[in-house]
Structure 1
């Protein structure tokens, strides 16, 4: 009979708690899954895919309810998703060295925290035609999706770093 180590028992419980807490405020919990796995010593080659998968599961349910209650416009969100989803997959599939992964994670979380706590009014308006808005949305989705995939935090934290006005 195989002995289950404490980490194999505790990780699913911690993931459930994170999913429950984050989903109650409309988020997926990607940064917490990533942090828990880094602390637990999980291989940095597997962290992004596991974290993204957990985040995707939780945020899909939240996104469905969000759109079902008419809190978002699919026509604005769709260009971001079209480019962010495949680039998040590419970022999650990259085999970065542990040190590079941890630096990218640290820098991205610091930038997001700085955006949230230090830069209160980052909104701006650009006079763009429909085509230009689509191009900017596709490029931003690609860059942010790649970064989110690399560190396994999903898009919510990274996208919160931008105050996009369509």
Structure 2
């Protein structure tokens, strides 16, 4: 458990520095630790909430969050996240879906991110709202926030500048995680909640510490592209293992 808590702290620290929650990597680490798949989404979504809550508040306080766009995307995604959390799923199907989502995560992390964009969005930006509900559903069912998929799409279509995209992704993750967690709790009941709390409480403390440090200090220990590549390698490896072993 000590190595897992340390890994969660480091993950939260790194992800919080760029506006993400880390749900995909929490899933990867929990899968490596052999965690019961039925409580895995509860832990990952809870950790997401702890990390991105602070980031979302700071972005809002700094008046960076593009509220109109962020609210529109989240309003489409949140009900789907709740539905995803409520969806019954067997272990093999869950592991296959989680493995596929981790592989997709690894690919999105390799998409180059520019710090500045042209003023005008591309013609494809109008189709971004159609991605919100599928991402919300995936967020609820496997225990991610969906922002790590949404943000690269927003960068590709030049939706806003890089800071506004990070703020929108952070808010998207927060709300989706809340709705997805609600669905998971309604589906699993008190017994599963007790098991998740018993196993995940030290991890929540770890991500709370890591998330605060990351959002406050904007980590400079490694270049951001190194962080993305290392995370991509981890998620790809775990995703492939899950797909081959499911």
User: What TM-score does the superposition give when structure 2 sets the normalisation length?
Assistant: 0.53
Answer whether contact 2:108 2:149 (CA < 8 A) is retained.
no
CA positional deviation for 1:160: 2.7
**Between Structure 1 and Structure 2, which shows a larger proportion of helix residues?**
2
Decide which of 39, 44, 49 is 1:46's aligned counterpart: 39
SS in 1 for 2:144: coil
Counterpart in the other structure of 1:97: 90
Matched ranges for 1:6-155 at <5 A: 7=1, 9-117=2-110, 124-125=122-123, 137=129, 139-155=130-146
Decide which of 148, 151, 154 is 1:160's aligned counterpart: 151
SS in 2 for 1:66: helix
Answer whether contact 1:81 1:141 (CA < 8 A) is retained.
yes
Q: Distance in 2 between matches of 1:94 and 1:161?
A: 27
CA change 1:150–1:158 in 2 (3 A) is farther
Q: Distance in 1 between matches of 2:28 and 2:63?
A: 33
Q: Distance in 2 between matches of 1:22 and 1:124?
A: 27
SS in 2 for 1:85: helix
Structure 1 portions without partners, runs of 5+: 1-6
Number of residues of Structure 1 aligned to a counterpart in Structure 2: 151
CA positional deviation for 1:141: 1.9
What is the root-mean-square deviation of aligned Cα atoms in Å? 2.8
Answer whether contact 2:41 2:143 (CA < 8 A) is retained.
yes
CA positional deviation for 1:120: 7.8
Cα deviations by residue, 1:101-120 (Å, 9 ceiling, x for unpaired): 22222222323433443688
Structure 2 portions without partners, runs of 5+: 115-120, 161-246
Q: Distance in 2 between matches of 1:18 and 1:156?
A: 15
Choose between structure 1 and 2 for higher RCO, CA contacts under 8 A separated by at least 6 residues.
2
